A and B are shown apart, each in its own frame.
Chain A
């Protein structure tokens, strides 16, 4: 029989983990090794170090947060093209509201005015993301518009809305504390953005693996009609999935905007494809039903290590794009062969 029985406790042991993720981990390790060797031969600082690991995690935090939401969407058999625009939109809305509130509160000498303004900016941006997700969900569930089209429309509208709100130029002159999410380090070393990302991954992993909701998401991706006829509230689950993805995209946008202390409507173009790439490299099937959060995390690292590593060894951006394409293909091919073996 092709599938050996799992061990009686049924708990995936380390062996199972290696079987499922082994290829990806090998790819990741290979990548690190290559960069380390090149860095040494060129007399650049060694690539492998704790500081660099934190740098890589920090630089992948935005895609990371969004990729958690995207994993849910893709496992549910959908796609969300609007996340790149939402990253920009989240930053613009967060920055605008924070600046307006800060101006208002500071003149009234409210205590901790900047923090209240920051919280207000986050809240309004997240609410706006929720609204965008609701729209995607509405069109996809109620009106049965294919996710590709529905989120393409949201992508365009949200991008335009961001520009309209600020007239094309970035929102700046933000309070100093605005950089908390993107540039502050806890205990001097651990960036807040990395903590947010890891929280999203752990939360997403638990949600997907251990709750009825996660099971329903996989069931819908595996066979929507079967799921519906098994009493799965298909429309509600899909709706929640798109809302989740949009809200997480906004979180990514807030991190980016905090990193730059500016709300720039031009950022995030094409980011949806980077995020989808991380999810797919992580072994999630674009046809739905199959995928893991852990896989996405490793896929994200593979892409992030690549981006940072290529800059580290001095490759310029066009070359980086070529290599990224090759790595995506290689990772997906390896996954195919694993499936065949």
Chain B
């Protein structure tokens, strides 16, 4: 039986001080197979892959390559054995060309001289790109390539090592839909060439699009491996969460109250034009569209992070000027950015400090920050939002994505905003934490906050929003009521098909 597998990982155990990260890791991979590995954050997927890539040693267990036991000493050794990793953040040198990146550190030489054999390097690089049917100039500097092209370069680099096993960690996170299609085509091509792939993703749709088998892990434990054709979405979620998730979108309905926020003909040159809509007490409004349609730009403009060239913002019936995020916060508008690490949190600061940052002034007693009140407030939020942490003095960088998002949420809850804009609030967050975020959104709406949710994930938009605004190339293409909205209608608006827009 061992002959049919290119890779077998058996009974892998990995302990860290105080934690068992992987209790019994199991994974098998056939040539030409796409094996999806799923689990919530902290389930042990990454640790298992780090062991495979030689980045971390295992405490016990066995790794067999084509039936032969091996010990992997280092990432370099793993590469020699034909195992390549493609991480979410690429390992490319931005100002070097595609070919130089592919052969970085092992450039072909002119004979035994120290000089690079450029023609051989370019030809070899072209051959590899041809093998995966990618049309890309090998002399182009990598920083001039799109994110998707950079990913192709990473894959080409992996192939140049004659890899038989390629691990892709969240390869789709930064890609547009169109680019994702290209990636899937490439994966299909690699399958035909007999390369085994381990594919890690939070997006369950992708498993059904390209996966052959799926392995689920939970809390460091191996749960099960199934052919993808034998399971459905709910089955996978149940295995991941350990219980049936009855309401993936726990939408609650509230009575619509008075208008809170209205934007009139908001314009920022080069980003969006004449955007008008309103938000009411008690509703969640979705803002969707293709990447680059101007959704985030509208949100930043309302929040004062970018200048507007025209239009007006009306809050609770009164026109307001918002020139900076400070103004916005003072008026009661908050923005949860998509990029939590660079725009949402100060990673080196503690949960306590991040929580109070946007409303520190409310804690000032004669010039000084009231520390004990601050601690009390931070502790309350940790409890209320169920942030998993040893304490409020933990720095934000040590938290998982979901918990980081909760800290961002805590920050905005503490500002007591009237209007909250969520930009891709669940991106990169596992299923369980997603539901918690949705519940918190419900709680906010119950308290009278109105929410504008920007999201590219249509099921989420359809599941949580009362109303859906769709943008196309900087314009508001249309607005759909919850009861009328379907994926097809949204996509039609988003791609510029101006069907009868309502409201």
Q: Roughly how many angstroms separate A6 CA and B371 CA in the complex, as a whole number? A: 14
**Binary interface profile of B, 359-383, with partner A (CB < 8 Å = 1, else 0)?**
1110110011101100100000000
Q: Determine the residue in chain B with the shortest Cβ distance to A290.
A: B348
Q: Determine the residue in chain B with the shortest Cβ distance to A1.
A: B390
Q: Contact between A215 and B335 (Cβ–Cβ < 8 Å)?
A: no
Out of B18, B346, B390, B393, name the residue touching A289 (CB < 8 Å).
B346
How many chain B residues sit at the interface, stated as a range, is: 35 or more
Q: Is B349 an interface residue (CB 8 A)?
A: yes
Residues of B within 8 A of A (CB): 18-19, 303, 305, 324-326, 328-330, 335, 337, 342-349, 353, 357-361, 363-364, 367-369, 371-372, 375, 390-391, 393-395, 398, 411, 415
A3 with B411, Cβ < 8 A, contacts A219-B346, A225-B343 known: no
Q: Could you say which residues of chain B place their CB within 8 Å of the CB of A216? A: 360
A: number of interface residues (CB 8 Å) = 28
A215 with B369, Cβ < 8 A, contacts A10-B375, A226-B345, A227-B357 known: yes
Q: Could you say which residues of chain A place their CB within 8 Å of the CB of B391? A: 3, 5-6
A222 with B360, Cβ < 8 A, contacts A6-B391, A210-B368 known: no
Q: Could you say which residues of chain B place their CB within 8 Å of the CB of A289? A: 346, 348-349
Q: Contact between B368 and A211 (Cβ–Cβ < 8 Å)?
A: yes
Out of B324, B342, B361, B375, name the residue touching A225 (CB < 8 Å).
B342
Q: Roughly how many angstroms separate A227 CA and B396 CA in the complex, as a whole number? A: 14
Q: Roughly how many angstroms separate A228 CA and B349 CA in the complex, as a whole number? A: 15
Q: Could you say which residues of chain B place their CB within 8 Å of the CB of A210? A: 368-369, 371
Question: How many whole Å from B355's CB to the nearest CB in chain A?
Answer: 11
Q: Roughly how many angstroms separate A229 CA and B360 CA in the complex, as a whole number? A: 14
Q: Roughly how many angstroms separate A35 CA and B393 CA in the complex, as a whole number? A: 40
Binds B, one of A230-238, A257-265, A295-303: A230-238
Q: Roughly how many angstroms separate A163 CA and B371 CA in the complex, as a whole number? A: 48
A215 with B360, Cβ < 8 A, contacts A4-B390, A10-B393, A228-B325 known: yes
Most A CB within 10 A of own CB, among B18, B346, B398: B346
Q: Roughly how many angstroms separate A2 CA and B393 CA in the complex, as a whole number? A: 12
Q: Determine the residue in chain B with the shortest Cβ distance to A10.
A: B375
**CB pairs A–B below 8 angstroms (9 shown):** A3-B398, A210-B368, A210-B371, A218-B353, A222-B348, A229-B325, A229-B344, A231-B326, A231-B328
Q: Roughly how many angstroms separate A287 CA and B353 CA in the complex, as a whole number? A: 19
Q: A212-B369, A231-B358 are in contact. List 20 more A-B contacts (CB 8 A).
A: A3-B391, A3-B398, A210-B371, A211-B368, A212-B361, A215-B369, A219-B357, A222-B348, A223-B342, A223-B346, A225-B342, A226-B343, A226-B345, A230-B329, A231-B324, A231-B329, A231-B330, A232-B357, A233-B324, A233-B326
Q: Could you say which residues of chain B place their CB within 8 Å of the CB of A218? A: 346, 349, 353
Q: Could you say which residues of chain A place their CB within 8 Å of the CB of B305? A: 228-229
Leading 10 A-B pairs by shortest Cβ distance? A5-B391, A222-B346, A231-B329, A230-B358, A222-B348, A212-B360, A210-B368, A230-B357, A231-B326, A289-B348
